[in-house]
Amino acid sequence: MNIKRINALLTELMNICREIEGSVLVSSDGQLLTEAIGIDNQTGQLLAGTFLHLMQNTCQEFDDSEIESISLKGQDGYVIFTSCYSEVFLLIKASHKVSVGFLKREIELMSKKLQTEFQETSSSVFSSYRSTAPELLNSSTKTGSSKFNRNERSIQTTSIRYRGLFKS
Domain span at residue 110? 3-119
Look up the pTM and report it.
Answer: 0.69
The rounded percent of the chain whose pLDDT value lies above 70 is: 70
**Which pLDDT score is estimated for 52?**
92
Asked if residue 81 has pLDDT above 90, the reply is yes
Q: Answer whether residue 101 is part of any domain.
A: yes
Give a yes or no: residue 106 inside a domain: yes
In whole numbers, what is the pLDDT of the chain averaged over residues? 76
pLDDT of 77 above 90: yes
Question: Is residue 161 assigned to a domain?
Answer: no
Question: Is the pLDDT at 128 greater than 50, yes or no?
Answer: no
How many separate domains does the chain show? 1
pLDDT at 90: 95
> Under DSSP, is residue 17 helix (H, G, I), strand (E, B) or coil?
coil
Q: Residue 98 above 50 pLDDT?
A: yes
CA dihedral 20, 24, 26, 32 (to 10 degrees): -150
67 in any annotated domain: yes
pLDDT for position 73:
93
What end-to-end distance do the CA atoms of the chain give, in Å?
Answer: 28
Q: Does residue 26 belong to any structural domain of this protein?
A: yes
User: What are phi and psi for residue 23, nearest 5 degrees?
Assistant: -155, 150
Residue 96 falls inside a structural domain: yes
Give the tens place of pLDDT for each residue, 33-49.
998 899 999 999 999 99
Average pLDDT over residues 99-118: 91
In the prediction, which pLDDT does 63 show? 76
Classified as helix, coil or strand, 161 is strand
Q: Is the per-residue pLDDT at 145 higher than 70?
A: no
18-32 residues labelled b (16+ CB within 10 A) or e (exposed): ebbbbbbbbbbbbbb
Q: Indicate which CATH number applies to the domain containing 80.
A: 3.30.450.30
